[in-house]
Every structure is written in structure tokens, then in C-alpha cells.
A and B are shown apart, each in its own frame.
Chain A
Amino acid sequence: MSLYDLMHSLTADSMRSVGGFEGELVLCATIVLILLLRIPRLTSRIDSFYVMLVGSAVALYMAGPWHPVEQPSQLFTGLLINDTFTVYFRTLLLFFAVLFAIFTRISGVPDRDAAPDVYALVLGATLGMCIMASANNALMIFLGVEMASVPSYALAGLLKGRRQSSEAAIKYAVYGAGTAGIMLYGISLLCGVLGSAHIPTMGVRLAELLQPANLEAGVGLDTHMVLALGGLMVMVGLAFKLSAVPFHFWCPDVFEGASAEVNAFLSVASKAAALALLARVAIGFGYIAPPIETQAEEQVALFNVADEPAQQPETKEQEAKPPAEEEEVLLVEEPSGSAAAFSPLADRAEQIAALAPARDYLAWVLAFMAMITCTFGNLAAYGQTNIKRLLAYSTIAQAGYMMMPVPAAMVLAGSNPAAAQGAIQAMVFYAGAYLFMNLGAFAIVAFLRNVLLSEEIEDYAGLIRRAPITVICFSLILVSLIGIPPLAGFVGKFQIFSALVQAKLWIVLLVAGLNTAISLYYYLRVVKTMTIDPEPETRRPVSMSFIPGTYVVLVSVPLLILGIWPESLNALARMATGQLF
């Protein structure tokens, strides 16, 4: 292939790909606009809030589910994938960005001076999260995670004067850097053994490596440990983003140190993207998605080595290079000793069957992690006196619940893809409900901070007599987090439980059930403090003004609506998962 041909097809491919990338491009433009507008004197008076709001709304419009995606398509030579799953999470993230902009406007943090910085960081992180949700290449996993994380570190340190805030930012950054390094190492191990960074190709390679003939003959056994280790290391990076035990230590500290606004962003957007990525990775390595029908000629097979059976797997990554150089590294040819192991398999069914060991491995690692995370988060939340710290542990526990359908999907994928789809659908639904729950919770915490100047639970005592609507909404949100009908949290939990029943993961199911009962106590303690406890005599008069109250109601009412009529979000979730299996 001559350089000209390569350039030509690359151009064609890029032009074609832009269509599925409009939301992200709008985000990029908005970031640039926010940053540039503050330079000329004339435009520096424009409130960047409006730019942020319009930018994210336009991005939402461009990327929303009202543009149906009939067929999944690979973007930019297979680096990203644009399917309904991507669309769902991108919509979720951008919708959150819009709500978040309004929220920050009402709560007044960041102030007008800091706003351009904060909004640029938030949009930048959102961009990274969109990439996480659509990653189709091991490199993009890393790039997405980093793009989402680095702005978050800065956001955690938003309250510049506060020592706690700086400490939180440093902790977050150090932890994030450490896990990112480990994840990159893991990625390089996986790519090295499997000879590609393109996740579907890696899945096919893995299937070829794990095919029964190989396992019987003992071929390629030496690579299994490397693969297991690589997988584990990638999980470390994901667990950090999900704040799963044992990589959760940053979470309570960061949540306590950072402002409630940032907490809302970290707990909703970051978690949703991490979940999407977790599902992508698990499905990528544990299952072979249906082949994507594209114009094969137009597709540049830069990374897609499997399409060229004549070539031997050529890549062997030596060390973790900065991402920009990596694609060249991947192309370095090197004769591979274990090449014989990769004999092609006949069809997709056989490939899926061959991946059974990978699925088992993923299922057990993830199930174990989910159980520990859930239990730990719930137990640690007991002793908390600070509402943000309590909610931090709550998000850890909730992350545990949300991870549970993934192992269920792994167990089911081999025998019953429809049920596996249902499992992922449960996770997708929960992520949608979770947006309202945690955004609402942190919005209330922020608004109450503005009037109470406190984030201690004991200062909420008897608040129902002063701000009844807010307290009722907060109670609804907390009860929804427990998972009691008729609220959206229950429908989500119900679906997660049904996935576990179908997968016959009884122990996980039991742990999840017991955790629901455990979590009742500390969520209800907050409700009790607000409603039953007497008001402290020393508190200054509290009154919730109209606009924050309205915002809170608007964010909490969907929980009730989705709890009673979940079918709308269910349909979206079904659409989102329809192209995965």
C-alpha cells in the first residue's frame, strides 16, 4: 500500500468517522471557545456558564438517541466504536453535563472567575469519558481514562484555599497516576501476547489461543499467566475509576475535600463512564460481538491484523511508550515464538465457545471485587458523620451493585446471549437511575451547605421543619439508593438481582441482598436525622429559596416516575445493549 493510498483511505475513513463523533467535536469546540473567550476584553465579560450550557446542549442534541444507529460502525480506523451502547452513555454523560451546568449556576460554585477553568475541565473530562464509553482499542482505553482523570485531579483541588481540598487533589493524582501506570503495563502485556490493540481482534486472538485443541496440546500455556496478569492489571485501572475495593482509598478523602459539585460530577459521570468501559472490556475479551458489516475496502486495517491472515502477528510491545508513539510501535514486526498457537477458528460460535475460560476468569474476578466493594462500602458508611464522606462510601457500595451484572453477563454469554444482554441492560438502567439519585443527593448537599454552612449530618437535624420539600426529596433519593419500591433505585436493583438469578450466582445474590439490608441503616439514619430529630437550638434560621428547591424537585421526581413507569428507560437500555451480543 503506497503512502498515497494510505493517506487517501485514511482521509476517507476520517471523514466518514466524523459523523459518529459530532458530540465530542462540539465538546472540543466548546472547550476551545471557553478558553479563548476570556482573552479579548469584549468577550471576557460573557459568562462562560452560557457557553458551557449551550455547548453541552448542542453536543447532546448532536449525539442523542434520536439519531438512530442502525449498525455499529468503527470510527477512525477502529479506534472507537459507535453503536447504541456508545450513544446511550454519551447521551447520559452529555445530559449530565447540561444538568451539571445548571446545578453549578444555582449553587454558585465555581464563582465567575473560576468558572471558565472549571467548565473547561469538566467538559474535557466529559470528552474523556465519552471516549471511555466508545473505546474499541486498548490505547483508547488508556487515553480515555487519562483524559477523564487528569481534569478530575484539578477539579478535586478546586477549592484552592482549603487544605483538605489540596490534599484530596494530591491524593487523587498520586493514586490515579499509580493505577494508570499499572493499567498501561497490563495493556501492553495483553497487546503483546495477543498481537493487536484492537479489542475485537484481541478477542478473536484470545479465542484462538484458548481453543480446546491448544489447551489439550498444552500450546500457549506459558502465555496464560501473562494474560491473566495483564487482565488483572487492566482491572486495577478500571477499579480505580469505579472506586472499587481495594482501590477506593482516594474516594472518601477526595469526596470530603472536594466541593459537592465536583463530587456530583465524579460520582455520576465518572462512574457511568467507568461502568461502560468495564462492560466494553469484559465483553471484548469474553465474547465475540456480531461482525460489523462495513465497507471492508474503506476500512483501513491499520490495527486489524486478523483481517490479514497471511501476516503473522507482528507486534510485541517492548515497554509503555507515550501514547502518541505507540501506534508505530504496534506495527513493528517481530517474529513471534508462539505464533503457532493462533490457528484461526472456523466461526463465531466456536470462538465464543473457546473464550469460556476467559469468561470464567473475568466473572470470578469481577464477582469477587463487586462483593467486597459492596460490603466494604456499606459497612464503612456506618460510622460516618460527614454527609459527603457518607455519600462517598455509598458510591463505593453502589459501584459494587453496578458491577454485579457484568460477571452475570460473563456467565450467561456463552449459553444465553439474550440473558447476558439483559444483565448488561440492568447495569445500563441502573446507571441511568443513578444519575438522578447522586446528582440529586449532591445538589441537595451543596444547596444545604450554602444555607447551613455545614456538611455534617448532625447539622441537618430537624430540617424538615425548615425545608420540607428539600428533605422529602432527599429522603426519596436516599430511599431509592436503598432500593425500596416504588422508586427507580428499586427497579434497577430488581433487574440486577434478576441477572444474578439467571446466572445462578447465588453467593453474589445473597451478598447483594444482605447488603441491601445493611445499607438501610445508614441511609435511614440521615433520613431520621432530618425528619425525626429535634432541631438544634443554636442553628441559624434556614430557608431554602425557590430556584434550588425547584431544581431539587425536578431531579428527584424522575426517580418516582421511573420507579412506577420504568418502561421508557428500560426501552432505552434495551436499545443500548442491543448491538453488544
Chain B
Amino acid sequence: MESSYMTLLSLIVFLPALGALALAFFPREKTETIKVFSLVVTAVVFLLTVVMALPGEGVWQFDTAVSDMQKVFSVGWIPSFNIDYFMGVDGISFPLVLLTTFITMLSMAASWPIEKHVKAYCMLFLVLETGVLGVFLALDFFLFYVFWEVMLLPMYFLIGVWGGPRREYAAIKFFLYTLLGGVFMLIAILMLYFASDLKLLNKDQLVAAHVISASAAAEEQEAQLAEIQSADDPVHTFNILALQQLGQHTEAFNSEILGKSLQWWAFLLLLVGFVIKVPSVPVHTWLPDAHVEAPTPISMILAGILLKLGGYGIIRICYPICPQAGYDLAYFVCALGVVSMVYGAFAALAQKDFKRLVAYSSVSHMGYVVLGIGVWSAVAGNNFNPDAWKMGMNGAMFQMIAHGVASPGMFFIVGIVYERVHHRNLDQFGGLFAKMPVYSGLAFVIFFAGLGLPGLCGFIGEVFVTLSVWTYSHALAVVAASVVILTAAYILWTLQRVYLGPEYKGPHGDHLTPITSRELAIAVPIAVFAIVLGVYPQSVFRYMTPSVDQTVDALAAWTEREKPAGEETQTAQRPAVEQTARVRLPHVNKTP
């Protein structure tokens, strides 16, 4: 079993890298062949994940009934540091993996206009995909970090070589920000590693963390347990699941450093590393530059996938490993999300560059993700009812997927028009509807999805997050809800300036040809998904909800154990909500 899981996940992760290796032997001039080959590789990877998503009981099928990690395998890699080649997938990572392979395939298809150094482009592109998929599937913290950093160099070159006029500045800025975040993360990883000790866990917890194989015979399990327990020194681990168990069930990460607990520092360092990627205000400034300068397909990847890594890291690592710190800093995290939402929306309103506007809309939309994750609503005051938090975290996850569909679409829409008229100045657009009706129709669908119009994918995530915040903090909820108005303002205003109006008066007006079939083939699936996810969100929720709920339940149980009523240190003004009440709909006018 384990070996077939290993084949499956390794294939998904490393097939793109192998493709890149194979590309090295292609002749440089055969650009068309190289592009087709790369597209085929990304398509095969996508198909593999689709096979996983299909309903069924097969070894390769993702089981939606299981909330724990599945398809788990572990092979020793660097024994001196207990580092394993350890991967698995659950409902939190699987939708993101699916999103990654889907968007990567589409953006490879969107890469056809690239004419410069095609071979190098495709190789870097495929290596990038390996890095992203590796991050989502890795369960060993070291492995996670390696994949996390492996992405940087391809991304640097993809922006720096194939980007716009200020590409070098944008590329190095992206690299510096992310590397700095990565260094903080590395420090936190090491702090957690050296504080961890598998000996503190009991057998059930070790089995849950896959340290002890669940499928092994009872005697074998006992032998493995005895081996761990008999070690003289602490048994450190990079196993993310074991670190979660240690964080939630033991005192391992509570030692004091410089006046705060170890997990407080680790949480903060990890959070900085992740929110740089998300990105949240005030560490978001690399994003507008990177987006504006990156070529269209890379913008799609950046917005659609790379930003999700930050949110994924917070859900998978920050909260489950450092619950105490997460509890203490919950309000801070939520406030970070709300500030990003408001700031991003206002900044988007002020933009004159079409692509920059979309970039700031990403900052705003990803704020929902941070906010939704941070809603620690399970407190003594409401009898540790985790429902609102579940709603928030599910909303955050859904928002990641929705944004992962809508935002690449928006960048692609911008890219189509930029390719024709070679400018992105919002003031010089207008009247595109008349010249490119099909394109404009798709643009409306995708932009409305970004806006959060009911019936389209953006709505579900936003409304879930906003509702969940109400139980946590009225103030934040009111602010978060009012951001919808700002979002509507900048998107509608943009649509008005670009597509409506009598006629196009800007430069290169005669180049405004109708959308090509290749472009349609990319834009239509995005638009379709934007509608399907909006109408039938259960299609995504059925994969993610069990795992997300389990994560929240574990943290709520931790809160109940560690923060019983009376001892609670209040960090936020929390309303007394009737215990049984489900979250009620606040009166927010969602329609623009």
C-alpha cells in the first residue's frame, strides 16, 4: 500500500521536474515542440490529480470519508536529523493540489505567446510546479522548507527574464521578501525541532502522527514504541503531524525564551514567513511589483497558487503546532486580515494600471483567508462551540480555491488585452465590449466572481468568513463586511472604464481583434469553474470539510482543556453568544 502511495504522490510531485530534465535534451529551436511537451506534462499531472478526485475506492482515489491524512508514506532521508521523505494528503491540501495542477496547466497553455528562450522558460516553469506541489504534500517540515525554497529561484528567473520593463527590480524584491520570510521560518523550524520529543507522546498519538505505522501488527507497533521510549536523549522530529500532537497535547513548546514562550516566538516567526507569501499588509509590497512585471502566465501562477502557500502554511502549521500562541495572538491575526482587506481595497481603488489593480485586489481577497483562519471563536464564553470557527476556516479554504480560480482568470483577461494594445492604462480604455464581445462577456463573469457576486465562486468564501467573524468580534465583522462595498466599487468602476463606453480611443485600437480559440480554451474553463463553484460549493466542500473540521475540533478541544472558563485571558471583546446558536446572518448587503 505504502509503496503505491509513494509512487502516486512522488509521480505527481516529480513528474514536472523529470519533464524539465527531459526538456534539457530538446533542441533549442524547436519551440513549438517544447511548449507542447510541457503542456502535455502539466496535463498528465493534472489528470493524475483528477484521477485522485474521482469517486471510488481505488488505491489512487482520494477518500472523502477520511478526515485524517491519507496516502501517507515515509522513507528515511537524512537520518542524522531524523528527516524523512514523508508525504501525505488530506482535505486541506488536496483541493489546493488540484487547483495547482489545474491552474499550472492553464497557464502553460497561456504561455504560447512567450517567444524568448522558450526552453529555459518551460524548464523553470516545470521546476516551479514541482516546488509548489511538494510544499502542499510534504509532511516533513524539512522537506516542506526545501520545496518552499526550491520555488524561489525559478520564480526569480521567470519574472526577471520574461517580465516587463522593471522586471529585475520586481524579481529581486520578490526573492528578498520571500527569502527573509524563509529564514525566519527556518529559525522557527529549528526551534520546534530541538524542543520536540517523541517520547512525550503516547502510542495513539504516535500512530496518529504516522510515526508508528498504523497498519503494522500489534507486536511491531509495541516494538517501535519501545524503541522510541528507550532512547536516552530526546527524540527530535520534523514530522509535522507529530509536532501538531506535541503542540496540542504536551508542554514541549512552552519553555520560556526572552520573556515569551517558545511557541509564541515560533508562531510569530512562522506567521511572518507565511503572511509575506499571502501577502498581508505591511509585507505585501512585493506583490504589486511582481504581478505587474511578471508575464501573464506567471502572474496567473503567482496569484492563483503561490499566494495560497501562505494560507496553507498558517492552517497546516501555525495553529495546530502552536495553539497557545495562536490563542494569544488570535486577535492580532484577525486584525492583520482585516487591515489587508481594507488597505488592499483602497489601494486597488487608486490604481491607474489595470494589472496593478488586480494585484491589489489579491491583497484584499487574501485578507479574507487570514481573517477566516484566525477566528478563534471556541472560547469559554460560548462553551467552546467551534461552529463559527469551522465556518471561518472552511470559508478561508474556499476563498483560497475561489481566489485561485478567479484571480488567474482576471490576470489572464488583463493579459489578453495587454497583448493587443500594449498598455494597461485604465484611463485609456473603454468600449472594448463593442469590439470584443465574447471576451468582454467572459471578463464580466470572472470579474464578478472576484467581486463576490452571489452565484459565483467569490461569494461563498467571503460570506462564510464575514459571518463567522460576527461571533468573534462585531467590530471586525462590520469592517470586513463593509469591504464588500469597496470591492464592488473598484471592480464595477474598472469594468465601466474598460469595457463600457462608446468606443476605444487609446493606442493600437486596430489591434483589438476578437478573442482567439486558444484564449477561449483557457478563459472558458476558468469562467465555468467560477460559476460551478458558486452554484455548487459542495463540490469543493466535500473534499475539504472533514479535514478542516477535524483541525478546528482538535484546537477547540485543546482550548477546552487548557483554557477552562474563568481563567480565560481576554484578548478581544467577545460578545456573549447563546451557546446553541448557530451563526446568524448579519445584515450585510452583498449585492453591489
Contacts and interface: CB of A to CB of B under 8 A. Distances in A.
Interface of A: 418, 479, 482, 484-486, 490, 494, 497-498, 501-502, 504, 506, 509-510, 513-514, 516-517, 520-521, 524, 528, 531-532, 566-567, 570-571, 574
B150 A485 contact: yes
14 contacts: A484-B149, A484-B152, A490-B149, A494-B142, A494-B186, A498-B81, A501-B187, A501-B190, A521-B172, A524-B156, A528-B172, A531-B157, A531-B160, A567-B80
Given A485-B149, A498-B190, A502-B194, A566 B175 contact: no
Nearest to B269: A513
Interface string B178-214: 0110011011001101100000000000000000000
Shortest 4 CB-CB contacts between residues of A and residues of B: A513-B183, A501-B190, A485-B146, A517-B180
Contacts of B553: none
A504 B157 CA distance: 37
A509 B189 CA distance: 13
Contacts of A566: 78
Contacts of B150: 485-486
Contacts of A510: 187
A506 B146 contact: no
Given A517-B176, A531-B161, 19 more contacts: A418-B233, A484-B152, A484-B179, A494-B142, A497-B186, A501-B194, A502-B194, A506-B258, A510-B187, A517-B183, A520-B176, A520-B179, A524-B175, A528-B160, A532-B157, A567-B78, A567-B79, A570-B78, A571-B80
Contacts of B146: 485-486, 490
Contacts of A516: 179, 183
B153 to A, nearest CB: 6
A254 B153 CA distance: 32
Contact of A521 (B152, B176, B193): B176
A324 B180 CA distance: 53
B172 to A, nearest CB: 6
Interface in B236-264: 257-258
Contacts of A506: 257-258
B145 interface: yes
A520 B177 CA distance: 11
Mostly, the A contact residues are helix
Interface residues on B, range: 20 to 34
A513 B184 contact: yes
Contacts of A520: 175-176, 179
B353 interface: no
Tell me the interface secondary structure of chain B in the complex. Answer: helix
A208 B179 CA distance: 48
A532 B180 contact: no
B226 to A, nearest CB: 22
Contacts of B184: 513
B168 interface: yes
Nearest to B28: A468
Contacts of B145: 485
B217 to A, nearest CB: 30
Contacts of B160: 528, 531-532
A520 B167 CA distance: 17
B202 to A, nearest CB: 26
Contacts of B172: 521, 524, 528
Contacts of A482: 179
A504 B255 CA distance: 12
Contacts of B157: 531-532
A15 B157 CA distance: 60
Nearest to B186: A497
B141 to A, nearest CB: 12
B4 to A, nearest CB: 24
A352 to B, nearest CB: 19
Given A517-B179, A528-B160, A497 B187 contact: yes
Contacts of A513: 183-184, 186-187
Given A418-B233, A484-B152, A567-B80, A498 B187 contact: no
Contacts of A571: 80
Contacts of B175: 520, 524
B168 A528 contact: yes
B559 to A, nearest CB: 29
A172 B22 CA distance: 49
Nearest to A500: B190
Interface in B138-164: 142, 145-146, 149-150, 152-153, 156-157, 160-161
Contacts of B80: 567, 570-571, 574
A504 B258 CA distance: 10
A51 B268 CA distance: 59
Contacts of A494: 142, 186, 190
A516 B187 CA distance: 12
B78 A504 contact: no
A574 B80 CA distance: 9
A528 B161 CA distance: 9
Interface string B67-96: 000000000001111000000000000000
A93 B579 CA distance: 72
Contacts of B79: 567
A501 B183 contact: no
Contacts of A490: 146, 149
Contacts of A502: 194
A506 B190 CA distance: 12
A484 B153 contact: yes
B507 to A, nearest CB: 26
A509 B187 contact: yes
B252 to A, nearest CB: 15
Contacts of A531: 157, 160-161
